[in-house]
Structure 1
Amino acid sequence: MTTDAPSQNRPVVLITGASRGIGRAIAHELAADHHLILGGRDRDALESLVSELPSAEPFVADLSDPASLADAVGALELPHGLDGVVHSAGILVSGTVEELTAEDWTRSFALNVTAVAELTRGLLPALRTARGTVVTINSGSGYTSGAAGGAYSASKFALRALTDALRAEEKEHGVRVSSVHPGRTATDMQRELRSFEGGEYQEEDYMRPQTVAATVGLALRLPADAAIDSLSVRPR
């Protein structure tokens, strides 16, 4: 059964990039005991996912458009605050420094960093009310970079700096901030990356999205006396 309002006693969590990949896996991971606000740009895809879950609603917004994002946040009804936000939406911009344009760099940072900061800023009052948890889906590229990955890695390094700053700023308000760094995961983004690298995509070589989702569930469900600051999870 689907509802437009949180089921009684369910923590409320907003997930961006919820219609596919890791974001979708996170929605299914949390569905049994959370009310979910599912973020994305494709209303039909979100409504389809909502219909699969016991307590969920769509959050349709273009994260790269501050005005659209502000309108969507303003329309949320969160009388008891927000227990968590999971920033799963992201973009892969590949290419060497020689190849990439200023527009490529701007596009990478706009979704992977600026949108995260702007959405979090809009949700901070509700997160503080509930003493909620912010989870960012970062990457192994948030620690190291390789050839032709400069724009993506730079944005993920910046996202790590953002979460470190936010964690320090929000400690007095009781908001937890967790940075999850998955290694290579079997998603459409990984398929795109392997195509760019000229390599073969073999799903069995990578972690399942459900594995990453389980680590996010751990960060959100952790008892209130502790927090996961940063968690790196790699293919075994």
Structure 2
Amino acid sequence: MPDTTRTSPPLSSDRPVAIVAGATSGMGLAIALDLSTTHDVLAVGRTAATLPELRVPGIRPVAADLTDPQARAMIAAQAERVDVVVHAAALGQARAIDDTTPDVWQDYLALNLVAPSDLTRLLLPQLRLARGTVVFIGSGASTKPVPGSAVYTATKHALRGFADVLRIDEAAHGIRVATVAPGQTDTPMLRQSINRSGTPYEPERYITVQSVARAVRFVVDAGEDVHLTDVAVRPRTELG
């Protein structure tokens, strides 16, 4: 199997370490940039070509296909210390029931559910040692049905279920597990979805990625006595 993980030189400071999966655009990029002000960040993206914006102090870009088990193992092996993990990578294209195939289901499950759950499993030793925090970027689709988006909705429901069980199972180790669930957010993924529907795209109606990053920061910076578990982030004016 080809090596799907390439990295820049290791970080060397004594700051806490965060891994952000899906850090090359949208929410993941905003989260990685925000966390880099206080953490050393391993910013994981699929290809090296999408990583230049992350070549800033405090961030080590890592090119990796998160759906590849070998790549996930390499990421875990590189991280001697892990205080925070944020899972922001996802497929989110709307697909009606009659527009799905087994291959589509496999693709969505591989990135939206298997990759974050398995990478978390591989990082448990480091997270337990640090009494760290795991943040799953969920969706409003994980709490209610979204018409025309059966596959995405199903995977986000499953991811929330995994997070809820992980929280219980790892309580004895002091790991905090949170789901931050944004509503419609101004990202390339949302823009593509709305453009395909033929509806005008109005970014001012949607949440900014910086607001999602601040919600993640709120979870990460919570005091030692607090465990924030479910954070819903909604547009100021609710959308149908």
Smaller-chain TM-score range? over 0.9
Q: How does 1:157-176 map to 2 (within 5 A)?
A: 157-176=157-176
Cα separation, 2, equivalents of 1:154 and 1:77: 31
Cα separation, 2, equivalents of 1:211 and 1:15: 16
2:34–2:213 Cα contact (<8 Å) kept: yes
* One-letter amino acid matched to 1:28: L
1:51 maps to 55
Cα separation, 2, equivalents of 1:99 and 1:133: 37
Q: Cα deviations across residues 84-137 of structure 1 (Å, max 9, x unaligned)?
A: 000011011422112211111111111000101111011110000100000000
Q: CA deviation at 1:3?
A: 7.0
Gaps of 5+ in 1: none
Q: CA deviation at 1:200?
A: 1.1
2:38 maps to 33
Provide the secondary structure at the position in 1 that maps to 2:97. coil
* One-letter amino acid matched to 1:5: L
1:19 to 11, 16, 24: 24
* One-letter amino acid matched to 2:33: H
Q: How does 1:107-126 map to 2 (within 5 A)?
A: 107-126=107-126
Cα separation, 2, equivalents of 1:149 and 1:134: 26
CA, structure 1 residues 77+85, in 2 after alignment: closer, same or farther (shift >3 Å)? closer
CA, structure 1 residues 169+184, in 2 after alignment: closer, same or farther (shift >3 Å)? same
Q: Cα deviations across residues 155-187 of structure 1 (Å, max 9, x unaligned)?
A: 000000010010011100100000000010000
Q: CA deviation at 1:42?
A: 1.7
1:192 maps to 192
* One-letter amino acid matched to 2:11: A
Bigger Cα displacement from structure 2, 106-115 vs 64-73? 64-73
* One-letter amino acid matched to 1:22: M
1:64 maps to 67
TM-score, structure 1 length as denominator?
0.92
Q: How does 1:102-181 map to 2 (within 5 A)?
A: 102-181=102-181
Is 1:228 the equivalent of 2:228?
A: yes
Cα separation, 2, equivalents of 1:147 and 1:171: 35
1:4 maps to 10
Is 1:73 the equivalent of 2:76?
A: yes
Count of residue correspondences: 229
1:6–1:12 Cα contact (<8 Å) kept: no
TM-score, structure 2 length as denominator?
0.91
Provide the secondary structure at the position in 1 that maps to 2:61. strand
Provide the secondary structure at the position in 2 that maps to 1:120. helix
CA, structure 1 residues 3+63, in 2 after alignment: closer, same or farther (shift >3 Å)? closer
2:213 maps to 213
Provide the secondary structure at the position in 2 that maps to 1:98. helix
Cα separation, 2, equivalents of 1:180 and 1:6: 30
Cα separation, 2, equivalents of 1:28 and 1:188: 17
Gaps of 5+ in 2: 1-7
* One-letter amino acid matched to 1:108: Y
Provide the secondary structure at the position in 2 that maps to 1:167. helix
Provide the secondary structure at the position in 2 that maps to 1:158. helix
1:92 maps to 92
Q: CA deviation at 1:45?
A: 3.0
Provide the secondary structure at the position in 2 that maps to 1:184. coil
RMSD, matched Cα: 1.5
Cα separation, 1, equivalents of 2:61 and 2:99: 38
- Kindly report structure 1 stretches of 4+ aligned residues shifted beyond 6 Å: none
